[in-house]
């Protein structure tokens, strides 16, 4: 079985986000970029499934500008076998990403696609579900546990009220939540080895997909700043303030 893992390059989660003064977006020049943390969890899970002898090959796919090659290399260094880079300078919306991935699924026929539940830049939480729709595959979103059993995969999902378990026919799509695993760091020898692993370069046109955005970003602004309040010296003072000043208890 092959496992397909889409990986996205995003601003590192620990970087302070700065909104551009012309309100067109956020500053990305000279900003540290990383693999989206949920995608890292997806790569890790694919590797564990392969290590357990349940998959033969892991393919990492990234869609975006030339730098996405680095993100694919990170996945290869962690343990993915080969990469596909779909080169485009456009801002690619989840629906377009899903369409390209659906085409790749047609040619690669993976048994599982494991993606992150959301990218921490756009916070959209859409791509996996959309890919499932376009390929008519079942979906196990927000996964905290995955168990493959023959032609089916059992997925434990993190839902608002607790946990839910579903059984999906394979091929299936799974999106990762935080508790699925703790991703490994790539070792130096593996980083070196990853340099020799193949990355196939494609363009959206190769798949016949028009990735022009359908949603225009009219303006991006900073959120209103919350002012720091006061420090209280004791619980007694805190309770007094909450009662008489804030009126919330």
Picked from ligand FAD, another protein, none, the partner binding residue 44 (CB below 5 to 8 A depending on kind) is none
Instruction: Write down the least CB distance from residue 238 to ligand FAD, Å.
Output: 14
Q: Which CB, 192 or 220, lies closer to another protein? A: 220
The reply on whether position 13 binds ligand FAD by CB under 6 A is yes
Rounded-to-integer distance, Cα 213 and Cα 63, Å = 14
CB burial of 118-144 (b: ≥16 within 10 Å; e: otherwise) equals bbbeeeebbbbbbbbeebebbbbbbbe
Which does residue 192 bind out of another protein, ligand FAD, none, counting CB within 5 to 8 angstroms by kind?
Answer: none
φ, ψ (nearest 5 deg) of residue 204:
-55, -35
Minimum CB–partner distance for residue 154 and another protein (Å): 7
In this structure, what are the phi and psi dihedrals at residue 37, rounded to the nearest 5 degrees? -55, -35
Interaction between residue 6 and ligand FAD (CB under 6 A)? no
Report the Cα 71 to chain-centroid distance in Å: 12
21-28 contacts at long range (C-beta below 8 A, 24 or more positions apart): 23/219, 23/220, 23/221, 24/217, 24/219, 24/220, 25/217, 25/220, 26/220
Compare residues 38 and 85 and give the one whose CB is closer to another protein: 38
- Contacts of ligand FAD in 36-75 (CB under 6 A): 37
Backbone angles phi, psi at 206, to 5 degrees: -55, -30
- Show the site string, 106-125: x = touches ligand FAD by CB under 6 A, - = not: --------------x-----
- Give the nearer residue to another protein in terms of CB position, either 33 or 166: 166
> CB 123 → another protein: shortest distance, Å?
6
In the complex, least distance from residue 174 CB atom to another protein, rounded to whole angstroms: 12
Encoded tokens for 203: 């363009």
Output the smallest distance, CB 192 to ligand FAD, in A.
27
> Residue 181: which of another protein, ligand FAD, none does it interact with, CB under 5 to 8 A by kind?
none
Nearer Cβ to another protein (9/50): 9
String of DSSP letters for 75-137:
HHHHT--EEEEEE--S---HHHHHHHHHHHHHHH--SEEEEES--TTT----HHHHHHHHHT-
Q: Which is nearer to ligand FAD, 96 or 126 (CB)?
A: 126
Identify which of residues 1 and 120 has a Cβ nearer to ligand FAD in the complex. 120
Nearest-approach distance from CB 22 to another protein, in angstroms: 13
Where do contacts with ligand FAD occur on this chain (CB under 6 A)?
13, 37, 120
């Amino acid at each position: 079985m092959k496992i397909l893992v889409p990986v996205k390059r995003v601003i590192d989660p620990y970087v302070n986000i700065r909104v551009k003064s012309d309100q067109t977006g956020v500053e990305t020049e000279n900003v540290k970029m990383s693999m989206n943390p949920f995608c890292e969890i997806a790569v890790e899970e694919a590797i564990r499934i392969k290590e357990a002898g349940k998959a033969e090959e892991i393919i990492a796919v990234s869609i975006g500008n030339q730098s996405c090659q680095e993100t694919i290399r990170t996945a290869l260094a962690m343990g993915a076998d080969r990469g596909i880079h779909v080169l485009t300078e456009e801002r690619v919306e989840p629906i377009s990403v899903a369409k390209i991935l659906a085409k790749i699924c047609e040619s690669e026929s993976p048994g599982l696609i494991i993606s992150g539940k959301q990218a921490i830049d756009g916070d959209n939480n859409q791509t996996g579900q959309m890919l499932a729709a376009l390929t008519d595959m079942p979906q196990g979103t927000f996964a905290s546990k995955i168990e493959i059993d023959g032609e089916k995969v059992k997925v434990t999902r993190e839902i608002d009220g607790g946990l839910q378990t579903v059984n999906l026919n394979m091929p299936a799509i799974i999106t990762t939540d935080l508790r699925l695993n703790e991703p490994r760091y790539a070792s130096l020898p593996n980083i070196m080895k990853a340099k020799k692993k193949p990355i196939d370069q494609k363009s959206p046109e190769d798949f016949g997909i028009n990735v022009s955005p359908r949603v225009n970003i009219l303006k991006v602004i900073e959120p209103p700043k919350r002012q720091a309040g006061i420090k209280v010296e004791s619980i007694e003072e805190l309770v007094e303030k909450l009662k008489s000043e804030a009126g919330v208890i």
